[in-house]
Structures are given as C-alpha cells and as structure tokens.
C-alpha cells in the first residue's frame, strides 16, 4: 500500500518535487478512504486540517446559499488536490466538497504538508503557485458571472474541459452539473447547448458533448 500511495503522491503537482524519503513519510502519515456518490467530505467552516488527494472518482467544490442555491467552483478528478488554501493559511474550509461519483481519496494531515514546505522550498513554491492560480481562476469566474451572458459562460466551460482527438469532452457531465458550473438554470443551459448544436459547433449525445468547431465556440465566448 505504501508504494502505491507514494506513486500517487509523486504524481500530484504539489508533491512531485519531494524526495522519495519525504513521500514515504507522507504516505505513512496519510490515510486512504472510500466515499460514495453524494457524500459530503466537508462543509464551509469545518477545520482545514487535511489536504485531500483524489485517487479515483470526482469531487465537486461548491458554495451554497441559505435558500439552497448552489454554485460549483470546480470539479477535481484523479490526481487533483483539494485544500491548498487551508494548507497555506491554517484557516477553515471556505466551501463545501461533495462526491460526484464513487471516490478513493487520500487524506494528508496539514501539519505534514507544512513541515515539508518548511524544509523543501520547491514544495512551498508549488503551494504558493497553486493558491495564486486558484485566486486568478476565481477572479476570472467572478468576472464572467457579471459580464458574460449564460450561453457564453457555457461555451467557456465547454472549451475548458479536456477533449479527445475527435473533440469529445472526456468527462461526461449532466446538464444540471453544467448549470451549477455556470451559475444558471438547467433549462437555460439546455437552450444554449441546442443553439450551439444548430450552428454545428457541437454535438450532444446524452451526457457526451463533442466540440466540432472549437474556433467558432471560442470566438463566441470572447476568448
């Protein structure tokens, strides 16, 4: 188990520069856990005492309003890390995290990451870069919510997803999931997708989206 966990840690951006000995120590201090779809990993305000590495499955990070509204900030897949902000400042969780599909996760104690950052400048720099990238992305997302209409927000999200050689977005998502990513209603997202399909920019089959004309979609989104 230790070897597998070490390989998983080495594959992350955050810990890729750590030594083999440090990775072994982190693996020994960490604990893997399995979660089912729909389970809550943590809520806003909970202690930020772990960094979570996604081994398999997907986790969404969301903010929710008092009346039940939900905005998805990001979706983390295999190899991704959750909790960099709390690892950096020691503060509580700033959002909720919910399992989108069955997951295998690795929980790394925050103090282990802090100790490593104190001894390995490259890891500390990577953590700082990760937090800075998160801030930039959230700033851009906030700007899009204010200045772009919903169809253009949908176009940007589609273009941001990893695609295969044929343009098919690798990660399937429901229209409800897409709506929560762009801050809109599912019916409005459906209308936007159908509009793109009529123009020949995409093809939609169930939960699969194929981007056929990325350049046209990008021009529409204002990229």
pLDDT in tens, 33-42: 999 999 999 9
Tokens 């996604």, residue located: 54
Minimum mean pLDDT among 19-23, 64-68, 120-124: which range? 64-68
For residue 101, the SS3 value is coil
Region 117-141: mean pLDDT is: 95
Categorize the per-residue pLDDT at 172 as very low, low, confident or very high, splitting at 50, 70 and 90. confident
CATH 2.60.120.10 in the chain: give the residue spans.
2-145
Pick the CATH number of 149-221 from 1.10.10.10, 1.20.1560.10, 2.40.30.20, 3.40.50.970: 1.10.10.10
Confidence band of 2 (pLDDT split at 50, 70, 90): very low
Q: Where in the chain is the domain with CATH 1.10.10.10?
A: 149-221
Please give the structure tokens belonging to residue 161.
Answer: 């997803």
d(CA 159, CA 221): 9
Confidence of residue 159 (pLDDT cuts 50, 70, 90): very high
pLDDT for 119 equals 95
How many CA atoms lie within 13 Å of 216's alpha carbon, on the beta-carbon side?
Answer: 11
Residues in the chain: 223
Of 3-7, 107-111, 157-161, the poorest mean pLDDT is in 3-7
CA–CA separation, 28 and 18 (whole Å):
15
State the pLDDT at residue 179.
95
Evaluate if residue 3 carries a pLDDT over 60. Answer: no
Mind listing the pLDDT tens digit for each residue in 61-96?
A: 999 988 888 999 999 999 999 999 999 999 999 999
Residue 184 to residue 154: CA distance in whole angstroms: 9
CATH code that applies to domain 2-145: 2.60.120.10
Quote the pLDDT of residue 69: 86
Helices (H), the chain: 2-10, 20-29, 84-89, 110-119, 121-147, 150-160, 175-182, 186-198, 214-221
> Which string of b and e fits 77-112 if b means at least 16 CB within 10 Å?
beebbbbbbbbbeeeebbbbbbbbeebebbbbbbeb
Using DSSP, state whether 46 is helix, strand or coil.
coil
Rg (CA), the chain: 19
Please say if the pLDDT value at position 20 is more than 60: yes
pTM here is: 0.85
Rounded Cα distance between 77 and 143, Å, is 25
């Amino acid at each position: 188990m230790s070897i597998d966990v070490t390989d998983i840690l080495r594959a992350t951006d955050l810990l890729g520069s750590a030594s083999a000995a440090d990775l072994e120590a982190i693996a020994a201090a960490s604990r893997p856990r399995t979660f089912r779809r729909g389970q809550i990993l943590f809520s806003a305000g909970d202690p930020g005492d772990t960094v979570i590495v996604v081994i398999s499955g997907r986790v969404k990070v969301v903010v929710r309003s008092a009346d039940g509204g939900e905005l998805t900030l990001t979706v983390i897949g295999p190899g991704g890390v959750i909790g960099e902000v709390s690892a950096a400042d020691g503060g509580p969780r700033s959002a909720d995290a919910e399992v989108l599909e069955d997951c295998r996760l690795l929980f790394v104690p925050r103090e282990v990451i802090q100790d490593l950052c104190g001894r390995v400048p490259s890891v500390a720099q990577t953590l700082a870069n990760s937090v800075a990238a998160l801030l930039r992305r959230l700033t851009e997302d906030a700007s899009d919510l204010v200045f772009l209409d919903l169809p253009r927000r949908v176009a940007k999200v589609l273009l941001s997803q990893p695609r295969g050689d044929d343009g098919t977005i690798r990660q399937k998502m429901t229209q409800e999931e897409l709506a929560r990513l762009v801050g809109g209603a599912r019916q409005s997202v459906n209308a936007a997708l159908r509009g793109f399909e009529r123009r020949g920019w995409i093809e939609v089959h169930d939960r699969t989206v194929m981007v056929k004309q990325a350049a046209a979609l990008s021009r529409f989104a204002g990229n």
